[in-house]
Amino acid sequence: MEIFSYETLKNLSYQVFLKMGCPTEHAELAAEALVAADLRGIDSHGVARLSGYVRLWEAGRINARPHIQIVHETPSTATLDGDAGLGLVIASKAIEIAVEKARIAGTGWVAVRNSNHFGIAGYHTLKAVKNDMIGIAMTNASPLVAPTFAVERMLGTNPIAVAIPALHQPPFVADFATTTAANGKLEILQRKNQEAPLGWIQDKKGQPSSNPHELKHGGALLPLGSDREHGSHKGYCLGAIVDIFSAVFSGANYGPWAPPFVSFLPLPSDPVGLGLGHFLGAMRIDAFRPAEEFKANMDKWINRFRATKPADGYDKVLIPGDPEREMETERLENGIPVVESVVTDLRDLAERMGIEKIVTI
């Protein structure tokens, strides 16, 4: 484990995106979106993925200089073609369009096709919050999840994020995979060679498994709820809704056709759309109620939920977004710890691309 400053990791990412040929503005947007994951403690989606993006670019699957354009629109909606660019950039543009639509129509909704992985969903929603709007973001992803009763991997971990502004309180920010456990949590167990709790994964026959390497042997992640008796059909519904909103609305690849993040896996030979899909939304809070009134009530909501009586052994009940925000404060001050394998990967990447070596704090 080595510790780097936020600026160091963001600058490294910026330099890498520039070397890929991204325009300056895109490299800035992408670097900020990527390292927001490290900052908020979702280490699986931050610089740990930087070399993965580079490999996708080397494989010709990411276009560093995309012509991102609206291909269809109404007063409150737009469909955006990302021209196979970085999802980090395309989603940043998409939420801006949603915010602009919302200014005039009250709400704005942007379906995105022909994109790639967009980093953490929550990051994009916060741009709406800055404009006194509720932000919504979701994306489909490489198929790793079996529907209830099934053994085939049909859906991605398909996250949903919703961010809601308050007055004196920090915003409510929910950001979660629609599976019982996100893939990043499995990766941690894989590295430590520890067992996974039952309910996270199944083997290739659909039996419960605690082997974190099960996906390499034909196993699958389970939808939120784990099994039918505990509501996995609801997690399957959620993952399916994200898939349809992100990819069927926009004309991207859906379900098992969603392109893999890793460049060594082939693309499906019979695509049903273009690239990966996202769905982003912005709702002006004063489209429903005066903004100050809404935000004062959000403060009251948050204060009341913070005051919920905790169960024995717990000192408090959390508001969605608390852990990530606390992590952000801590890491901005004390730096971001990066595991050795990722540090090596980043140093190799920097050397290979002719970028200055990163140094720890």
> Counting contacts by CB under 8 A, is residue 77 touching a second copy?
yes
- Alpha-carbon torsion, ordered 213, 218, 222, 227, to 10 deg: -110
- Least Cβ distance, residue 161 to a second copy (angstroms): 10
How many residues contact a second copy, by CB under 8 A?
86
> Counting contacts by CB under 8 A, is residue 235 touching a second copy?
yes
> Counting contacts by CB under 8 A, is residue 68 touching a second copy?
no
> Counting contacts by CB under 8 A, is residue 104 touching a second copy?
yes
Query: How far is residue 276's CA from residue 7's CA, in Å, rounded to a whole number?
Result: 29
Residue 162: strand, helix, or coil: strand
Judged by beta carbon, residue 61 or residue 230, the one nearer a second copy is 230
Sign of CA dihedral 52, 55, 60, 65: positive
Looking at residue 223, the DSSP 8-state letter turns out to be: B
- Least Cβ distance, residue 168 to a second copy (angstroms): 15
User: Token pair of 225, please?
Assistant: 């709820």
Say which residues have a Cβ less than 8 Å from residue 126's Cβ, sequence separation at least 6.
135, 163, 171, 173
> Counting contacts by CB under 8 A, is residue 6 touching a second copy?
no
Contact pick of 64, 129, 240, 338 for a second copy (by CB under 8 A): 240
| Segment interacting with a second copy (CB under 8 A) among 1-9, 58-66, 89-97, 228-236 | 228-236
Q: Residue 28 — left, alpha, or beta (φ > 0 → left; ψ -120 to 50 → alpha)? A: alpha
> Counting contacts by CB under 8 A, is residue 14 touching a second copy?
no
Number of Cβ within 10 Å of residue 351's Cβ equals 11
Judged by beta carbon, residue 142 or residue 263, the one nearer a second copy is 142
Judged by beta carbon, residue 288 or residue 332, the one nearer a second copy is 288
- Least Cβ distance, residue 290 to a second copy (angstroms): 8
Contact pick of 60, 264, 269, 304 for a second copy (by CB under 8 A): 304
Judged by beta carbon, residue 49 or residue 284, the one nearer a second copy is 284
> Counting contacts by CB under 8 A, is residue 272 touching a second copy?
yes
Q: Contacts with a second copy in 17-46 (CB under 8 A)?
A: none
* Orientation angle between helical segments 121-129 and 24-39, nearest 10 degrees: 110
Q: Contacts with a second copy in 138-197 (CB under 8 A)?
A: 146-152, 154, 162, 164, 172, 174, 176-181, 197
- Least Cβ distance, residue 225 to a second copy (angstroms): 6
Contact pick of 311, 333, 340, 354 for a second copy (by CB under 8 A): 311
> Counting contacts by CB under 8 A, is residue 310 touching a second copy?
yes
Checking DSSP bridges between strand 77-81 and strand 107-115, what pairing results, if any?
parallel
Q: Count Cα atoms within 13 angstroms, Cβ side, for 42.
A: 25
Which residue type does 253 have?
A: N
User: Token pair of 283, please?
Assistant: 């709702």
